[in-house]
């Protein structure tokens, strides 16, 4: 049993002012006898290993190790996994709320904290530990059975827990995953699909369903669930891009591009992901889509003329020589001694029989790179 007055509390927040604020609040509320503090998740881990902690109050956004990473560590360590955790976040962003929910948080609070909210959440999570409902007791038994490989008993305990919360997506998900462990995939999939249907914001369940289809090389259904996941959370953007590449390589370009669009639209002005998709598109001969993305990047980052050069290459692949030349010249004019741009310009002018202009660029290339093989080969043809 946890006693509110004598309990031991760990507060993890990178801001000293917030740690002091929480200390004052706890003192005012008369909650906790021993309060310990950490400035990041890594420090928090050290305290957990060396102290007996009844409750952790963790900030979501911290350096070194953030709140979600610390929470994952706690939930995966048998010594701490049943400890109640309250997550504190400065933002009401739904992505944060969903990410916190996916890691089996007991409660979360939005900054700025109030006495009433802190008091209410602490009392709520402590009461749930001290007086677990029957469903929770069944789930704890199911976990114990699962860990020793007694899956039939684990399934039965999970079914009993479901009676108390028949629409709880997390319990339905667990039931589905347990059936997967005994190779009853049809039943497992049905449970997961029901979990997804009762909770439109359950990205974790949708991820498990997507992996079921991916393992069976069903890229269409895999993509369907990734599309749904992307409406819920930004977390799956990198994996979605990888899946999009696989779709392009499997002659499902239209579906791959749709997935790319949904992933990229999750975050505006995301240079890194757009650059990655441009590279994938170029490698898989989707030059029109690469052009579209490059134009967006140039508009968003007008000083990055390397995008202009890449746009020229895309146009060249599409046999739009004039557009390619225009972009190569623009890149050459704005990037000091861009040998690749000069080479492409020289090649185009040479092909257009404009030998004098081509020779001017060849001279520029050989002045900076005397052994450039392309320039030397063109020079031989004069």
**Sheet (strand 8-12) strand order:** 34-38, 8-12, 55-59, 85-89, 107-110
List the structure tokens of 37.
């503090």
- Read off the pLDDT of residues 167-205 as tens digits, 9 standing for 90 and up: 999 999 999 999 999 999 999 999 999 999 999 989 999
- Whole-angstrom distance, CA of residue 360 vs CA of residue 376: 13
pTM score above 0.85: yes
| 139-159 pLDDT tens trace | 999 999 999 999 999 999 999
Across 160-174, b (16+ Cβ under 10 Å) vs e yields bbbeeeeebbbbbbb
**How many other C-beta atoms are found inside a 10 Å radius of the C-beta of residue 143?**
15
Beta bridge partners of 85: 56
State yes or no: pLDDT of 93 exceeds 60: no
209 within 8 A of 185, measured Cβ to Cβ: no
* Alpha carbons 96 and 18: distance in angstroms, whole number: 19
pLDDT of residue 123: 97
Domains, the chain = 8-131 (3.40.50.2300), 132-196 (1.25.40.10)
Is 304:294 a contact under the CB 8 Å cutoff? no
Flag whether pLDDT at 368 surpasses 90: yes
Low-confidence winner among 75-84, 182-191, 241-250 (lowest mean pLDDT): 75-84
Q: What does pLDDT average to over the chain?
A: 94
Q: Give the distance from CA 380 to its chain's centroid.
A: 53
Q: Per-residue pLDDT tens for 285-334?
A: 999 999 999 999 999 999 999 999 999 999 999 999 999 999 999 999 99
């Amino acid at each position: 049993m946890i006693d509110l007055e004598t309990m031991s509390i760990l507060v993890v927040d990178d801001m000293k002012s917030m740690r002091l604020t929480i200390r004052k609040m706890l003192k005012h509320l008369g909650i906790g006898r021993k309060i310990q503090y950490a400035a990041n998740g890594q420090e928090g881990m050290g305290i957990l290993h060396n102290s007996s902690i009844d409750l952790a109050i963790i900030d979501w956004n911290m350096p070194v190790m953030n709140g979600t990473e610390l929470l994952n560590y706690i939930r995966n360590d048998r010594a701490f996994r049943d400890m109640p955790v309250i997550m504190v976040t400065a933002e009401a962003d739904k992505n944060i709320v969903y990410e916190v929910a996916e890691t089996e948080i007991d409660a979360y609070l939005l900054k700025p904290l109030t006495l009433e909210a802190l008091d209410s959440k602490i009392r709520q999570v402590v009461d749930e530990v001290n007086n677990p409902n029957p469903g929770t007791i069944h789930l704890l038994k199911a976990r114990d059975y699962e860990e020793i490989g007694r899956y039939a008993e684990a399934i039965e305990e999970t079914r009993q827990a479901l009676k108390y919360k028949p629409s709880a997506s997390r319990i339905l998900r667990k039931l589905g995953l347990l059936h997967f462990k005994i190779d009853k995939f049809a039943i497992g999939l049905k449970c997961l699909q029901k979990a997804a249907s009762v909770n439109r914001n359950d990205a974790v369940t949708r991820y498990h369903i997507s992996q079921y289809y991916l393992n069976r090389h069903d890229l269409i259904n895999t993509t369907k669930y990734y599309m749904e996941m992307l409406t819920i959370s930004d977390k799956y953007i990198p994996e979605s891009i990888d899946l999009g590449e696989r779709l392009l390589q499997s002659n499902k370009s239209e579906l791959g591009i749709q997935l790319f669009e949904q992933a990229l639209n999750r975050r505006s002005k995301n240079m890194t992901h757009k650059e990655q998709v441009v590279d994938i598109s170029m490698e898989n001969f989707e030059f029109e889509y690469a052009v579209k993305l490059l134009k967006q990047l140039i508009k968003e980052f007008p000083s990055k003329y390397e995008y202009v050069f890449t746009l020229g290459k895309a146009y060249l692949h599409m046999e739009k020589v004039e557009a390619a030349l225009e972009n190569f010249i623009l890149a050459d004019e704005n990037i000091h001694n861009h040998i690749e741009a000069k080479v492409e310009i020289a090649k185009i002018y040479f092909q257009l029989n404009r030998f004098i202009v081509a020779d001017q660029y060849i001279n520029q290339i050989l002045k900076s790179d005397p052994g450039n093989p392309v320039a030397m080969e063109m020079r031989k043809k004069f």
